[in-house]
Amino acid sequence: MNELRLVLQHKNKGMGLEKEINLSCEYYLNKKIANIHKKPTPVHVVEVSNQKSPIITKAFYQKSSTTDYNGLYRMKYIDFEAKETRSKSFPLSNIHQHQLDHLVNIDELGGLAFIIVRFLSSEETFLIRICDIINYVNTEKKKTIPIEYFKQYGTIIAPNFNPRLDFLKAVDKAFLEELK
Amino acid sequence: MNELRLVLQHKNKGMGLEKEINLSCEYYLNKKIANIHKKPTPVHVVEVSNQKSPIITKAFYQKSSTTDYNGLYRMKYIDFEAKETRSKSFPLSNIHQHQLDHLVNIDELGGLAFIIVRFLSSEETFLIRICDIINYVNTEKKKTIPIEYFKQYGTIIAPNFNPRLDFLKAVDKAFLEELK
């Protein structure tokens, strides 16, 4: 039972930001502002019992081939990953390489691709475009990005009441040219 | 009907619409034409054992809140559901009401929303826009749509070799105005 709790605790890591984004997506959906959803975690099902109402009895979590969130906003395709960190810099290793590649591809195809990062130490949340992430990696040859870089190149998402995390306001600002 | 078409029809038989769409999405992704993915089936996990590499020991399939496929094509958000039917008319009951509502919302927000239907009896596959589906339901007050309606208002997706199901060619035709 303790093991289960530990596994669940581990899985819930980052639940704060995720829950706020989910609530905000619900708000945007109800107000017909945007249609953005979290993708389900892919599960590889091995065993299923009971044909009439199937119960999965053996399955494994799979790596997602894309990011957690995508959808439609201001007639544009939007795609992002959301992460929390306890550190004062953001280790890119928190995001799988294939997820970064996916975001770069979205950017190239004309979608709005970004990452939302929350620094738990200062409770500051930033939106940063994937092109700015890639610029940092290529210029600095480092894969850990300090909060100062987010302050300079990212867009802060100010705390809000409803929606809980008004990240689309930050999208408006970060993608001003694309949304003209 | 020419020979190539007959060969392709024969080759494609039994492969399943979903698999053909998935292979085509892979082709589009590799060629950097579009970025479209099938969403994982949502699973509600109840029990997990083994901390280091978790094994799900009890879980249930959940209803998807959206459609199966979405992505980015020609800078537009694209969203669709794919269904096969053995009948000569398509029962809308094959698609959940909340999925239809989702597609209507996508259409209203300026995305490209449609359904791909394969009639197994004639091995014909059509793309039909959600607005044409809704028009039929509102006008005819029926929820089963005959193949003739698809022939008149839908766009046929001709059998193909690579990509296996060139549904984006049908998107180009069906959304001519939107893609200008």
**What pLDDT does A10 receive?**
45
- Tell me which residue in A55, A65, A77 faces B76 most closely, judged by beta carbons: A77
A9 pLDDT above the threshold of 50: no
What is the average pLDDT across A110-119? 98
Q: Across all residues in chain A, what is the average pLDDT?
A: 90
- Tell me which residue in A39, A59, A75 faces B110 most closely, judged by beta carbons: A75
Token pair for A44: 């590889």
Contact A72 B109 (CB under 8 A): yes
pLDDT tens for the 180 residues of chain B, in order = 455 555 555 544 557 999 999 999 999 999 999 999 999 989 999 999 977 788 999 999 888 889 999 999 999 999 999 999 999 999 999 999 999 999 999 999 999 999 999 999 999 999 999 999 999 999 999 889 999 999 999 999 998 989 999 999 999 999 999 999
Query: A71 burial class (0-12, 13-18, 19+ CB within 10 angstroms)?
Result: buried
d(CA B144, CA B80): 19
Nearest Cα to Cα of residue B103 among B91, B114, B119: B114
- Tell me which residue in A60, A77, A79 faces B55 most closely, judged by beta carbons: A60
Pairing relation of β-strands B69-73 and B34-38?
A: antiparallel
Do the Cβ atoms of A7 and B48 come closer than 8 Å?
A: yes
A150 pLDDT above the threshold of 60: yes
Helix, strand, coil tally for chain B in percent (to 5): 35, 30, 30
Token pair for A111: 């979608």
Do the Cβ atoms of B126 and B104 come closer than 8 Å?
A: no
Chain B residues within an 8 Å CB radius of A78: 77
Residue B48 bridge partners (DSSP): B56
Chain B residues within an 8 Å CB radius of A66: 37
Chain A residues within an 8 Å CB radius of B30: none
Written as one letter, the residue type at B156 is: I
Q: Which residue has the higher pLDDT, A121 or B11?
A: A121
Which residues of A lie closer than 8 Å to B, measured between beta carbons? Answer: 3-4, 6-8, 29, 32, 34-35, 37, 39-43, 45, 54-62, 64-66, 70-79, 102, 105-106, 108-111
How many contacts, defined by CB atoms under 8 Å, are there between A and B? 118
d(CA B55, CA B41): 17
Contact B111 A72 (CB under 8 A): yes
Against a cut of 0.95, is the pTM above it?
no
CA distance B98 to chain A (A): 13
Q: How far is CA A149 from CA A144, A152, B10, B94, in A?
A: 10, 5, 57, 50
**What pLDDT does A12 receive?**
41
CA distance A147 to chain B (A): 31
What is the percent of chain A with per-residue pLDDT over 90, rounded to a whole number? Answer: 80
d(CA B68, CA B39): 5
